Amino acid sequence: MTQPFGIDFGGTGIKGAPIDLQSGTFLAERVRFKTPSPSTPDRIAEVFADLLARFPDCTGPVGVTVPGVVHHGVVRSAANIDESWIGTDADALLTRVTSRDVHVVNDADAAGLAEVRYGAAKGRSGLVMLTTLGTGIGTAMLYDGVLVPNSELGHLEIDGHDAESRAANRAREKEELSWKDWAKRLRKYYRTLERLFSPDLFIVGGGVSKYSEEFLPLLDLDTEIVPAALLNTAGAVGAALAAVERHD
């Protein structure tokens, strides 16, 4: 089987499955591991090798999301993973350790690519901004369906704070915020994006997107805002898509 494999690597979990790029869906139930601590490149590479070994018949390219800036396969930032990732040629390291053709991509960018191909951004023109609300806040910017990589707008300074420290889903859980109280913080964040970029559409991804009816109606924005169609599978799907396009 030559289908590609997608791995979603985050600050708290690592999830992977073979991907059907015709439909943008998983071909098998995904396998999940807790992200080890410390999450150093060598340690994570061994987890990936273990994960891929569970699917010996899936031999296509492997796409991996990384919660940080990725430039030509090299990780340039690491907000929610071990700082030793910074400067690591992740493409080269993961390809060597797993003996597979591996390509890494920023996690929100991967989700954006998946939503353009299969989901809420498909066929949409103008500026679409996707945000992933999880351990941190990831962002992807797409103009007329073309990705502008590594936007990293989760780290905007708002009221003297890094935006994700106040508005990420981890902050909601840690501070035990109600949906209403969290929505106040989200509204300020999305209003800031509106003032800076005047987008045509916001898409909300990440695991909390499955509860979108609890908080999206509370945001009161000028811009249309919708949940990601692929919900929390978009990262792995988009990573596989990017790996195949890079491979080809």
| DSSP code per residue over 51-103 | HHHT-TT--S-EEEEESS-EETTEE---SSS-GGGTT-BHHHHHHHHHTS-EE
What tokens appear for 32 in the block?
Answer: 């999940």
Q: How far apart are CA 56 and CA 130, in angstroms?
A: 33
How high is the pLDDT of residue 135?
85
The residues spanned by each domain of the chain are 5-109+234-247, 123-229
pLDDT for the residue numbered 231: 87
The rounded percent of the chain whose pLDDT value lies above 90 is 92
Q: How confident is the model at residue 217 (pLDDT cuts 50, 70, 90)?
A: very high
Q: What does the DSSP 8-state code read for residue 144?
A: T
CATH number of the 5-109+234-247 domain: 3.30.420.40
Q: Tell whether the model's pLDDT for residue 16 goes beyond 60.
A: yes
* Residues contacting 89, CB < 8 A, separation 6+: 73, 74
CATH topology of domain 123-229: Nucleotidyltransferase; domain 5 (3.30.420)
One fold for both 5-109+234-247 and 123-229? Answer: yes
Q: How far apart are CA 166 and CA 29, in angstroms?
A: 33
Closest CA to 224 of 235, 216, 234, 214: 216
Confidence check: pLDDT of 193 > 90: yes
Residue 182 has pLDDT above 80, yes or no: yes
